Structure 1
């Protein structure tokens, strides 16, 4: 487990410039190098490919951004801790802003509701205690489709929380495994999630069940069992449903049933629910964003922008929950749903 503090590395001045050039390229037309990398990666992994067993890299597991390698011929001059801290904050803030320079990340139209309080993690953040967040899921948790590990949703979420709480001790652990769904995830729940002693678990589930034509009702039963175990461990939980994308939409009936069942389970078990499917559909149908701005060429996985906006909206809800706790407000989980419709 790697602890993600906001100032845990020194980045070269060249790194933000390179990142900016990449980020300023329109999302719908990825750089040639990124296309080659994505094509190679697609040959090895698909969200519905059960045979994928690749582990997330260390950079995917950290979630706090990546320090550039040091030029040994021209090592940087020693700087004070304050200077390092200021430079790191500026660097992370610039990276966060550049990804939305072409298309802004807006909340769903129609007055989305908060997904409700996350009392455990919010109380610890509000009181300055260390916080552990585990991102649990399949290849969209791993971050398949991104051009850099920096742009996985757990890494983007970690960067956002570090900007909001620059002195907080926040650890974000990526426990995504490509090709899995509830049956496989339940087998590794103890070791991958519960043994990490999380304060918050973000569980992305259901996409591969739709693609593999698994019974949505059976998936919902397994998810409910997993929720009970996570709650018994004292952690808050947010469920994330399948993504709105061409491949998922090919199985519209199964996808619709899965989305409804996961939302219902979240409501019955009083846990948070982030309806990714509805949020992404809002991007396309109400905000008129082309699908290839947020879904890569395989028709399934998200782009850098898609992951970044998903992480931003999710992080906004976590931050809102902390604010509610500070004000002495604890929104009941039975009115938790983040409903854009």
Structure 2
């Protein structure tokens, strides 16, 4: 499905460092330097007569429970018209890097809770972006065991909440195969390169019919 960007809509992007990309560290760049900024530039170019507001509230290091904890202040209180969410890879990363386990069931429960809140309180359109991994190190292939159930959860939630789904995992892994080098898409397997962000932004704007 696609979404409709009304002329004066407020579009909110939520997530972790993949969404943040410098917006917290650089106050003069409130949209950061990743896919959010590229989306905003492309929409403004395609819709120069519109007054669409783009807001980035990504926070580096966040897992889904962190996002849930700040959901009211950083989402509900902003009263957006469109909410785009990309969260989950840190819940996987922490398992393998720090031994901190968030089950897929807990992940889906927290994710469902925030979507329920926003749907109950606001008239919004939702875009759910799959968490993704583009393995660049051999040991990262084992991470799929933890990440894949989270991707499946996002797909279920997109259906449940009538949200647009951006199937980012397959998209970026296919881009890596086409490029012949996973690091060309995500240098560490998790954080997209500028080209990876461009691929993600193109898919996001396609969901808006642009």
For the pair shown, the structure with the greater C-alpha radius of gyration is 1
The change in CA–CA distance for 1:288 and 1:212 in structure 2 (over 3 A counts) is same
How many angstroms apart in 1 are the aligned matches of 2:189 and 2:125? 32
Q: How much has 1:288 moved relative to structure 2?
A: 4.3
> Among 150, 172, 182, which residue is 1:291 paired with?
182
Of 296, 301, 304 in structure 1, the residue corresponding to residue 194 of structure 2 is: 304
CA distance in 1, matches of 2:160, 2:153: 10
Aligned to 1:212: 94
| Partner in structure 2 of residue 60 of structure 1 | none
Relative to the length of structure 1, the TM-score reads 0.54
Q: 1:259 maps to what in 2?
A: 151
Would you say how many aligned residue pairs link Structure 1 and Structure 2? 193
Instruction: State the alpha-carbon separation in 1 of the partners of residues 158 and 141 from structure 2.
Output: 22
Q: Which residue of 82, 85, 104 maps to 1:200?
A: 82
Residue 132 of structure 1 deviates from its aligned partner by 0.5
Q: CA offset at residue 243 of structure 1? A: 2.0
Q: Does 1:139 align with 2:17?
A: yes
Task: Find the aligned partners of 1:265 and 1:179 in 2 and give their Cα distance.
Answer: 22
**Coordinate RMSD, CA, aligned:** 1.9
Is the CA contact (8 Å cut-off) linking 2:19 and 2:34 kept in structure 1? Answer: yes
Measured in 1, the distance between the counterparts of 2:204 and 2:54 equals 14
Residue 276 of structure 1 corresponds to which residue in structure 2? 168
Which residue number in structure 1 is paired with residue 99 of structure 2?
Answer: none
Q: Deviations over 1:275-312 (max 9, x none)?
A: 21111111123x2442121112x332110111111011
Which one of 128, 147, 161 corresponds to residue 43 of structure 2? Answer: 161
Unaligned runs of 5+ in 1: 1-115, 321-341
Superposition map of 1:164-175 within 5 A: 164-175=46-57
Residue in structure 1 matched with residue 2 of structure 2 by the alignment: 117
Which ranges of 4 or more aligned residues in structure 1 deviate by more than 6 Å? none
1:203-223 per-residue CA deviation (whole Å, 9 max, x = no partner) reads 001101111231011101111
2:68 maps to 1:186: yes
Task: Please list the CA deviations of residues 15-36 of structure 1 after superposition, one character each: whole Å capped at 9, or x if unmatched.
Answer: xxxxxxxxxxxxxxxxxxxxxx
Q: Deviations over 1:210-260 (max 9, x none)?
A: 112310111011111111111121111111122222275331111111111
Give me the TM-score of the superposition, normalised by structure 2: 0.85
Query: Which structure 2 residue ranges, 5 or more long, are not aligned?
Result: 96-101
Deviation at 1:319, TM superposition (A): 2.2
Partner of 1:67: none
Residue 189 of structure 1 and its aligned partner are, at CA, apart by 0.6
2:117 maps to 1:229 = yes
* Matching residue of 2:59: 177
The equivalent residue for 1:240 is: 129
Match of 2:208 in 1: 318
Deviations 1:48-83 (A, max 9, x none): xxxxxxxxxxxxxxxxxxxxxxxxxxxxxxxxxxxx
